[in-house]
Structure 1
Amino acid sequence: MALTELPLFPLGQVLFPGGGLGLRIFEPRYLDLVKRCGRSGEGFGICLILAGREVGEPAIPAAVGTEAAIVDFALTEDGLLGLTVEGRRRFHVERTRVRDDGLIVADVRWLDDPGVVALRDEHALLSVLLARIMDKAGVEHEGPGKGALADAAWVGWRLAEWLPLEPTERQALLQLDDPHARLQQLVERLPDFQPE
């Protein structure tokens, strides 16, 4: 399978397909990356940091990440470049190298997208839960079990994004290929989110 070269942006958080993330850019290596992506229209990879920090020396990224596409940008109040990115395809990092400017570049293999997968009956509760979360957030939807809320992959990604999970738990969910397995893991975590 052919590999694709993709610059990486290691972060302390996980980006999911279809999800959004706000970034503040100030390091020269990432300003150059944003400039290149803006000109070419290409994305870059966001991976959870396994070791190291977001700033300074190149961090060690997780092996599975999500392609990020820039959808908006503006200057922040403190004069930095603020980006809004949207998650696209998942990828697996096969090998990395660090450029002279400290930017990590990876050879990646794109992971299969299952497309729209119908929610199973045993996971219908998760569609109801997500609809309630969306109601509280003021996000419009068609109702539990309808539209995107009937798609097992989409429901799993949004709950993994919005439930109070640790970054390592989010990463484990990102790495699962089967949307039903992802939803089952979320079902098993639900009791932990109940108030005492």
Structure 2
Amino acid sequence: MASIPLFPLGNAVFPAGVLRLRIFEVRYLNLIERCVADDTPFGVVPLLAGSEIRKPEGGEVLAQAGTLVRIEEKTTPMPGLLQITCSATQRFRLRDSEQGQYGLWHGTADLLDDDPVLPVPKRLQACANALGALIAQLQRSGTPAHLMPVIPPFRLDECGWVADRWAELLPLPMEEKAALLLSSDPLHRLALIHTALGDRQLLPPDDAEQDPLAGN
């Protein structure tokens, strides 16, 4: 069990993902400076309700799942503004959380094990193919490496990696993203992503009609 500072966000980040943030609220400027000075991570937690930016009425509702991230790069374009690039490391289950005097959230969490490395089965290969095609399209269009939403190494043969990248990219409800974060079965996560891609017509018709929970 670990005690960690929390950053509620309107999206989820998964292990091996990249997170880029522009920080201007005082509570988070202080948090980032402390994490850089101490070389410690902070926890990103999906917001189920409320706003990323602090409002007088509050109303922030945090999911019971999140991911630790480490700050890899920090720049200060102007006073009172930080731009950071973070790498996501380990998922956690949030036991409890509380908001401090200045609006910064802290919580205690159980760290979750890393995914086992499982190959993408044939019935779910379309998920990996679609992600590979998206990466190639972004590269062909000249998207700078520092703005790519998916960063190398591209582990398109691993269930967990493919599922996690789609979970970050797709506009799924935050409750669903939180549930995916808590899932310890990367094969099941990828099957759920396959269904989500099919529902959004992001898979070829033949692949979308297959039962992702059936055998290879």
Calculate the TM-score normalised by the size of structure 1: 0.86
Percent identity, aligned pairs only, is 34
Three-state SS of the structure 1 residue aligned to 2:155 is helix
- Bigger drift between 80-89 and 159-168 goes to 159-168
Change (3 A) 1:9 1:152: same
2: CA distance between counterparts of 1:136 and 1:162? Answer: 15
Matches within 5 A, 1:1-196: 3-56=1-54, 57=58, 59-76=60-77, 80-138=81-139, 148-194=155-201
Deviation at 1:77, TM superposition (A): 7.0
Deviation at 1:166, TM superposition (A): 4.0
Deviation at 1:29, TM superposition (A): 1.3
Contact 2:24–2:80 (Cα < 8 Å) also in 1: no
Three-state SS of the structure 1 residue aligned to 2:156 is helix
Aligned-CA RMSD value: 2.3
Contact 1:156–1:183 (Cα < 8 Å) also in 2: yes
Change (3 A) 1:40 1:154: same
Contact 2:119–2:158 (Cα < 8 Å) also in 1: yes
Three-state SS of the structure 1 residue aligned to 2:199 is helix
* Number of residue pairs aligned between Structure 1 and Structure 2: 187
Summarize deviations over 1:34-53 as a string: whole Å, max 9, x none.
Answer: 01100111110000112222
Structure 1 residue runs of 4 or more that deviate by more than 4 Å after TM superposition? 76-79
Structure 1, unpaired ranges of 5+: 141-146
Deviation at 1:21, TM superposition (A): 1.7
Q: Which amino acid aligns with 1:186?
A: I
